[in-house]
């Protein structure tokens, strides 16, 4: 069964993919302490993974607890999406999401991300290629993708790290299932034209469309336009998930009710705050005036230390500097918080994190 179908029986509340943020340690912590309905990786370039970029494959590490977990991929070449779909399936992901929403200049100027809104025919070919790649993997396995030896070796190492669960191992041996292909995008390129754009995507029937309420030109400035998202919802029979400026549980309820989306993905409000997802049951019931969970300082310290240890475990000591921004996000809104964040953005290793936080206990 397509896992999206089950999730969409009630409004879903998921973690939005964010480049440079939703790495494996971040997703692990968000799932453990917030339990979003669905987890999506930060995007990975199809060009990079098919050339055997080991650092990019690190973005595809996930923990079994994250399921359903979806791999997000980006690029502009349909043939590479066909091959990349084989790799994503082989690694045991529950779904594939195609990035058609990243506004970053280094992505859009090369024809990927949100720039695909300007090339709808190419966008449709990409979705079709990914779906065909999934079917091809089911029928013929990874061999049909004709990946090079380096990629094959990395995949073997990845599968050992992932320790695929019994169900996935069984599927790999017999009776493979097709995983769904979805799209995450924006309401326009340099102007709002969500209805026209979504009609193009509807033609190739992605399982789900996630729509961020800003254009590429707007980046993350101003307010997300949920009225435009609502118009897009009415124009398609494809389930639409909304994204943009969901800062609280009450925001989620209001946006789901007013726009008729099937759920929301929460992004920046999850920074240092996996607890944002703790009220998802109340959100699904459309409860009014939900009070968001506020952890104690002791709880935060425990989770921060676990996050830092998980980061070290997965990325090693050389990648620890990437942890700094996460550390700062956890601490705000109390006396001397600014000074604490100032110390945490200078740490170089786990011992230094522990030394700073032990002063608070």
Same domain, 333 and 243: no
Q: Are residues 37 and 118 in the same domain?
A: yes
Q: Which of 238, 254, 284 is the last residue of a domain?
A: 284
Whether 318 maps to a domain, the answer reads: yes
Same domain, 71 and 117: yes
For the ranges 57-61, 163-167, 194-198, 308-312, the lowest mean pLDDT is seen at 163-167
The verdict on 35 and 115 lying in the same domain is yes
By the 8 A CB rule, do 127 and 204 touch?
yes
| Helix 24-33 and helix 297-315, axial crossing angle in degrees, nearest 10 | 140
Query: Is 292 a domain residue?
Result: no
Confidence of residue 271 (pLDDT cuts 50, 70, 90): very high
Domain boundary among 284, 313, 336: 284
Write out the residue range of the structural domain in which residue 269 sits.
3-284
Q: How far apart are the C-alpha atoms of 13 and 265, rounded to whole Å? A: 6
The total number of structural domains in the chain stands at 2
DSSP category for residue 113: G
> To the nearest whole number, what is the mean pLDDT of the chain?
92
In order, the DSSP letters of 253-291 are: HHHHHHH--SEEEE-GGGTT-GGGGTTHHHHHTT-SS--
Q: Is 145 found in the same domain as 204?
A: yes
Residues 212-223 pLDDT 10s: 999 999 999 999
Per-residue pLDDT tens for 261-270?
999 999 999 9
pLDDT band (50, 70, 90) for residue 288: confident
Is residue 217 domain-shared with residue 326, that is, in the same domain?
A: no
Q: Which residue do the tokens 């790649």 mark?
A: 133
Give counts: helices (H), strands (E), the chain.
Answer: 17, 9
Check which CATH number belongs to the domain holding 303 and give it.
1.10.1200
Helix, coil or strand: residue 209? strand
Domain boundary among 255, 284, 313: 284
Tell me how far CA of residue 194 lies from CA of 59, 199, 200, in angstroms: 30, 8, 10
pLDDT of residue 84: 96
Which pLDDT value is given to residue 2?
82
Q: How far apart are CA 63 and CA 209, in angstroms?
A: 25
Both 108 and 173 in a single domain? Answer: yes
CATH number of the domain at 43, please.
Answer: 3.20.20.70
- For residues 309 and 180, state if they share a domain: no
- 178 occurs within a structural domain: yes
Q: What is the value of pTM for the model shown?
A: 0.93
Whether residues 332 and 262 share a domain: the answer is no
pLDDT of residue 318: 84
| Same-domain status, 328 and 252 | no
| Residue 235 and residue 331 in one domain | no
Residue 291 lies in a domain: no
- Asked whether residue 30 is assigned to any structural domain, the reply reads yes
Q: What percent of the chain has pLDDT over 90?
A: 78
242 & 309 share domain:
no
């Amino acid at each position: 069964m397509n896992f999206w179908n089950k999730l969409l029986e009630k409004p879903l509340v998921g973690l939005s993919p964010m480049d440079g943020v939703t790495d494996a340690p971040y997703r692990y912590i968000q799932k453990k302490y917030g339990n979003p309905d669905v987890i999506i990786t930060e995007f990975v370039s199809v060009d990079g993974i098919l050339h055997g970029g080991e650092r990019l494959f690190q973005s595809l590490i996930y923990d079994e607890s994250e399921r359903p977990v979806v791999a997000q991929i980006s690029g502009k070449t349909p043939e590479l999406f066909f091959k990349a779909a084989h790799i994503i399936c082989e690694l045991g992901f529950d779904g594939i999401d195609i990035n058609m929403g990243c506004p970053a200049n280094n992505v859009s100027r090369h024809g990927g991300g949100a720039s695909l809104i300007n090339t709808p025919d190419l966008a449709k070919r990409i979705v079709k290629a990914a779906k065909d790649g999934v079917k091809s993997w089911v029928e013929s396995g990874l061999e049909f993708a004709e990946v090079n030896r380096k990629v094959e070796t990395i995949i073997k190492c990845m599968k050992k790290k992932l320790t695929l669960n019994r169900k996935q191992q069984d599927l790999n041996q017999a009776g493979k299932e097709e995983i769904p292909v979805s799209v995450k995008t924006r309401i326009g390129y340099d102007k709002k034209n969500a209805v026209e754009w979504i009609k193009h995507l509807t033609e190739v029937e992605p399982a789900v469309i996630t729509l961020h309420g800003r254009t590429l030109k707007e980046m993350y400035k101003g307010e997300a336009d949920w009225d435009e998202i609502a118009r897009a919802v009415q124009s398609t029979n494809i389930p639409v998930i909304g994204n943009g400026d969901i800062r609280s549980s009450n925001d989620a309820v209001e946006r789901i009710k007013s726009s008729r989306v099937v759920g929301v993905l929460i992004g920046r409000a999850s920074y240092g705050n996996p607890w944002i997802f703790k009220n998802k049951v109340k959100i699904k019931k459309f409860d009014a005036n939900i009070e968001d969970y506020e952890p104690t300082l002791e709880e935060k310290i425990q989770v921060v230390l676990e996050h830092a240890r998980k980061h070290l475990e997965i990325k090693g000591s050389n990648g620890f500097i990437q942890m700094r921004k996460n550390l700062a996000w956890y601490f705000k809104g109390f006396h001397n918080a600014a000074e604490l964040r100032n110390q945490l953005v200078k740490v170089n290793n786990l011992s230094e994190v522990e030394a700073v936080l032990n002063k608070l206990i």
